[in-house]
Structure 1
Amino acid sequence: MSTPKVESEKHGELNCWRITSDTAELLVAQQGAQVLSYQRLGEPPVLWLSEQAIFKQGKSVRAGVPVCWPWFGNLKRNPETVQALYHGEEAPAHGLVRGRDWELLGIANEGSAVRVDFSLPHTQGGLPGWPHNVELTLSIVMAEQLRITLTSYNLDNVPVTLSQALHSYFAVSDVREVQVEGVEGLGYIETLANWEQRTQAGALGFAGETDRIYLQVPEQLSIVDPNWNRRTRVTSTGSRSAVIWNPWIERAAELPDMADDGWQRMLCIETANVWDDVVTLAPGASHTLSLSIGSEPL
């Protein structure tokens, strides 16, 4: 196998790197340490990049794997222990790190694999309204699978409580034709029906807008896509919750960075620490949230 190739690119206002191996291609942005796309050569994309994505400084790209941290979603929907750590006036959705440039620590070849390491120095006391001292690093390894690892290390002398997610957008042939396996029998929060707690019956199919928080999730979920004859395996560690989201027709039409029919080609399974699965770091403690993505024929 040849050594993976690394090229610097500019997409709109964002600095990016395209990494190509004998078997796969990865596009990563410095902003948000965000994987924008991932595809095995000769196959459909595994991660989805919106056709109308906006590459603008300070705005998370609708693509790939945004990092939500130190809270997920609407801060007011988070536990009080998470809310109490933020002292700013307005709390942006999904936290404070998606729209910031991370520091690239290095891109290194490891045989036929390649590793990309980032850190975000702002989290060590420099995030507006969040004056806590946490070392935050993210590593991406592209080998037979794609692995993304987010580590939070509390340098403060008081506990810090976080919610977070690796907000993955998966590419699918047609969301109406796919199923998610691994959720059978799980409890979930139905956010579209007054946040009721329900129980999943069977595998999850899609026939309308979906926004659910699954609880006590196993380490592996799968997207079964018969049109592409593909099973995408989503394996997590450091997480007991997952958010599954598709905006469907009306919501997609309201999103400026998604084509009106873009909802058909994407499905979010977000590896998360949310609801009662938040992370409390004692002084000197660390937590690692990781996601591995692999695909295989059905």
Structure 2
Amino acid sequence: MSTPKVESEQHGELNCWRITSDTAELLVAQQGAQVLSYQRIGEPPLLWLSEQAIFKQGKSVRAGVPVCWPWFGHLTRNPQAVQKMYHGVEASAHGLVRGRDWQLLGIDNKGDVVRVDFTLPDTLGDLPGWPHTVELKLSIVMAEQLSITLTSYNLDNAPVTISQALHSYFAVSDVRQVQVQGVDGLGYIETLANWELRSQKGDLDFAGETDRIYLQSPDQLNIVDPAWNRRIRLASSGSRSAVIWNPWIERAAELPDMADDGWQCMLCIETANVWDDVVTLAPGATHSLSVSIGSESL
């Protein structure tokens, strides 16, 4: 077993690190502490990187696992407790940390296990319009599977309420041929139909634009991909909600950083704390949101 190799790379305007072990390869950007791609050696990618991704400072890359924090989606769609935390004028979608450079604390390995740790000093009172003091860290562990953990530690003397997500883009052979298992019987918010509350019947298939918030989601969801003879396993903790998204044809054509047919080979399942699952941190409290990504043959 050889020591994993760490290489610094520049992708457009972004500083990145490529980490290669005997079994897997990982690409991580300093901006947003964002995992850009991940795959097991000799296999199709597990995380999707858009062919037309834009690597520009201040812009989240359409790839991998962007970090959405301290709110998810449009702020106005969040509970009042989350909205009240922000005192700015304009609120960007998906929070304030995706387009900022995080501080790399270290890249360490023990055998074939690699750990990458980041922190974002800006959250200690320096995020524009968000005057709170929360220590924010992201840990990435590459071993038999990829594990990502986002930890918030409230250093304020008052409670802080956040919504958040690990906005994971998964690579699939053809989204029209895959299914998501683990959602049968769950209630979900259908954002494309006036945010109606509906109930899932059976596994989730894809036949059009999809943008749903699943409530009381289980600790494990699976993406079954027969064409690649693969099941992607997502194991989450610190989360009771999941967002499942695919832009389909018309929406993808509007996105400058996605090919017109890019929707076919990606699927987002976002490990989240949203809707009735937002997190209120008492002074001195900590919360960790985690997802582990692995795969197996069908």
What TM-score, normalized to structure 2? 1.00
What SS does structure 2 have at the residue aligned with 1:126?
coil
Write the deviation string for residues 256-287 of structure 1: whole angstroms up to 9, x where unpaired.
00000000000000000000000000000000
What SS does structure 1 have at the residue aligned with 2:167?
strand
What is residue 182 of structure 1 aligned with on the other side? 182
1:111 CA displacement: 1.5
Structure 1: how far apart are the matches of 2:189 and 2:114? 38
Cα RMSD for the two superposed structures: 0.3
What is residue 283 of structure 1 aligned with on the other side? 283
Counterpart mapping for 1:106-145 below 5 A:
106-145=106-145
Please say if 1:55 is aligned against 2:19.
Answer: no
What is residue 294 of structure 1 aligned with on the other side? 294
1:2 CA displacement: 1.0
Counterpart mapping for 1:167-206 below 5 A:
167-206=167-206
Counterpart mapping for 1:134-283 below 5 A:
134-283=134-283
Structure 2: how far apart are the matches of 1:23 and 1:78? 40
What TM-score, normalized to structure 1? 1.00
1:103 CA displacement: 0.1
1:68 CA displacement: 0.1
What SS does structure 2 have at the residue aligned with 1:46?
coil
What is residue 26 of structure 1 aligned with on the other side? 26
Count of aligned positions: 298
Structure 2: how far apart are the matches of 1:200 and 1:110? 43
Structure 2: how far apart are the matches of 1:278 and 1:185? 22
1:52 CA displacement: 0.1
Write the deviation string for residues 170-205 of structure 1: whole angstroms up to 9, x where unpaired.
000000000000000000000000000000000000
1:110 CA displacement: 1.6
Letter of the structure 2 residue corresponding to residue 284 of structure 1: G
Counterpart mapping for 1:2-41 below 5 A:
2-41=2-41
Structure 1: how far apart are the matches of 2:12 and 2:131? 31
Structure 1: how far apart are the matches of 2:186 and 2:81? 26
Structure 1: how far apart are the matches of 2:291 and 2:32? 16
Structure 2: how far apart are the matches of 1:13 and 1:186? 42
